[in-house]
């Protein structure tokens, strides 16, 4: 593989990959008495976002997030107040960056990579979550799947980024801490760099694409990406 064929554009997933969703835990601890219900809610949110896409339907991610919280509360037979839903929206819009994000983005930017984001969340007015987290200035563009009307890992979402940047999907490397995201990106012709944050792991099953790169923290993953480019 020549250096020219190595992806020059690094596409970052946002929620959990860059921004720390564990800052939502106090809400779940207060409402459900168990901060671990956050993971149940997030799994339902991802499940039903993908279900909507497979069904040819679309509802904004934030609205699905609120609906998923209401569904989980019904399952647990826990009452929800309007203030709880408002707190979810506020917390989702102001999640901080993980500690490894700033040094990793700095290294990749200084190495000459083009950096963009692709998120299931809808675009919104400034200040955006990335602006609030203090990392928006690293990114050339920030893409939302709302433009495609489909959620990741639909191939149209990754192709959207390639089309808007006037590159091929083979010029993109997706960085995500969700394996379903890297699988989708690789199936669409991108490379996949998998970040094994807690609650995420490789799926060892026949036919499941293995990520091109794997690391447990974003700084190490950034170094792997840089070395891969240098050795090609």
User: Does the pLDDT of residue 2 top 50, yes or no?
Assistant: no
**Are 136 and 130 contacting, i.e. CB atoms less than 8 angstroms apart?**
yes
- The predicted-structure confidence for 155-206, as pLDDT tens digits, reads as follows 999 999 999 999 999 999 999 999 999 999 999 999 999 999 999 999 999 9
Direct distance between the N- and C-terminal alpha carbons of the chain, in angstroms, rounded to an integer: 6
- The predicted-structure confidence for 4-46, as pLDDT tens digits, reads as follows 577 999 999 999 999 999 999 999 999 999 999 999 999 999 9
- The predicted-structure confidence for 63-116, as pLDDT tens digits, reads as follows 999 999 999 999 999 999 999 999 999 999 999 999 999 999 999 999 999 999
Question: For position 3, what pLDDT does the model report?
Answer: 43
Helix (H, G, I), strand (E, B) or coil at 42: helix
Please report the domains of the chain, with CATH numbers, ordered by start residue.
3-20+95-231 (3.40.50.1000), 21-92 (1.10.150.240)
User: Which secondary-structure segment (H or E) carries 116?
Assistant: strand 114-119
* Cα→Cα distances 98→33, 40, 70, 94, Å: 25, 21, 28, 13
User: Which secondary-structure segment (H or E) carries 174?
Assistant: strand 172-176
Return d(Cα 170, Cα 11) in angstroms, integer.
12
Q: Strand 141-144 and strand 191-195: pairing? A: unpaired
Question: For position 231, what pLDDT does the model report?
Answer: 76
Return d(Cα 83, Cα 113) in angstroms, integer.
42
């Amino acid at each position: 593989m020549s250096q020219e064929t190595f992806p020059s554009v690094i596409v970052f997933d946002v929620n959990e990959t860059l921004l720390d969703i564990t800052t939502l835990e106090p809400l779940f601890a207060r409402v459900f008495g168990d901060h671990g219900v956050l993971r149940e809610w997030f799994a339902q949110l991802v499940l039903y976002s993908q279900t909507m896409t497979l069904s040819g339907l679309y509802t904004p991610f934030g609205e699905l997030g609120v609906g998923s919280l209401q569904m989980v509360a019904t399952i647990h037979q826990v009452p929800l107040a309007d203030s709880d839903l408002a707190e979810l929206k506020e917390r989702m819009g102001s999640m901080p960056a993980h500690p490894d994000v700033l040094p990793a983005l700095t290294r990749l930017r200084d190495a000459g990579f083009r950096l963009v984001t692709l998120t299931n969340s809808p675009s919104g007015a400034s200040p955006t979550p990335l602006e609030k987290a203090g990392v928006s200035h690293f990114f050339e563009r920030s893409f939302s799947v709302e433009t495609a009307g489909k959620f990741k890992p639909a191939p149209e979402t990754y192709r959207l980024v390639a089309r808007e940047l006037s590159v091929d999907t083979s010029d993109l490397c997706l960085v995500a801490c969700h394996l379903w995201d890297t699988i989708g990106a690789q199936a669409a012709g991108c490379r996949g760099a998998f970040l094994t944050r807690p609650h995420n792991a490789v799926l060892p099953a026949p036919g499941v694409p293995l990520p091109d790169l794997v690391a447990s923290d974003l700084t190490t993953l950034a170094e792997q990406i840089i070395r891969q480019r240098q050795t090609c």
